[in-house]
Structure 1
């Protein structure tokens, strides 16, 4: 249609996602979102409905971008849950070290701000965290340890993952982050060894 501004919705989502990732939900003003996407308020509302709806789409965009990388890492070592967790942390640390994306993790950032999220976005963040935990739990199935132990280990791995994201936002050196991940992998290995001996 003549005179109508055209834009790529996926590109706009990626740009908005970076704003939420860098600033968090509360500090991601419509002006900041508009500046990043090149869209006016009318176009933002017309395309996404509201800031909350845009935020939800950005969360899902983040998961669709990074989730497959985690899935691939966790599935790459069937029958070897410790190696699967090591591969998972390799992917986490590679994303954290990537200078082309903001520090931390959009899910961790959003979880920290969950009490101020509107509508069902707080619950959606919890669903996404549960999805991460289920991914890790599935990778631990190669162990004969008690299911309760595997449940606790999956939660532990996700807790470490989220902690790495928070530490990276505080400019913790890569060597220290890698040390945390190594210790977490050793904890998983030791726990599984004790549980199956």
Structure 2
């Protein structure tokens, strides 16, 4: 029995993730991480490595939980990019409203602190934002709009997602957040309609 970890590593990682999510990297002290996970510093280092390594594992954990849900929402409406974006925002708003998790978004929280993160951490955060954009861009691909318009819309949708997380942390109401998401969906729909190739109606 000696030498075997007497705790649930996955559960400890989830608790550490919540600390980073709620406090941000800078304010997630080793004492706070230890208190949340129930582990001493030696066990933290022995299991997860440095604080930076633990942070990156928490980012991966966050994406493994929520990224799969976002992927499902965006791919569940093949041929209807507007509905896919609506489903994406519905899921985001449901997560924000969930009282069992911290307010906001771990990626948004981390992105706001990117200038103070170590390069490897900052690069991972940027990569996760790019992954969000790629997922949204793929959902928009069924549109007949040109590639540049779709690229810009994908960036816009991700920007709104991050804004919802920031606004929620600042105390914006569910109604206010839903209004932002609704206007974003209208913008996507209107932009796709205007960007349809002109030669579709010619002949």
1:58-73 aligned within 5 A: 58-73=58-73
1:93-172 aligned within 5 A: 93-172=93-172
Compare CA radii of gyration and give the structure with the larger one: 2
Give how far 1:5 is off: 5.3
Counterpart of 1:152 in 2: which secondary structure? helix
Q: Which 4+ residue blocks in structure 1 deviate beyond 6 angstroms? A: none
1:136-163 deviation digits (Å, cap 9, x = unpaired):
0000011010000000000000000000
Residue 46 (str. 1) matches residue 46 (str. 2) = yes
Match of 1:79 in 2: 79
1:135-190 deviation digits (Å, cap 9, x = unpaired):
00000011010000000000000000000000000110000000000000000000
d(CA) in 1 for partners of 2:47, 2:118: 19
Instruction: Please list every run of 5 or more consecutive structure 1 residues that lacks an aligned counterpart in the other structure.
Output: none
Q: Using structure 1 for the length normalisation, give the TM-score.
A: 0.98
Q: Using structure 2 for the length normalisation, give the TM-score.
A: 0.95
Q: How many residues align?
A: 197
Match of 2:201 in 1: none
Give how far 1:118 is off: 1.7
Check the 8 A contact 1:16/1:37 in 2, yes or no: yes
Counterpart of 1:25 in 2: which secondary structure? coil
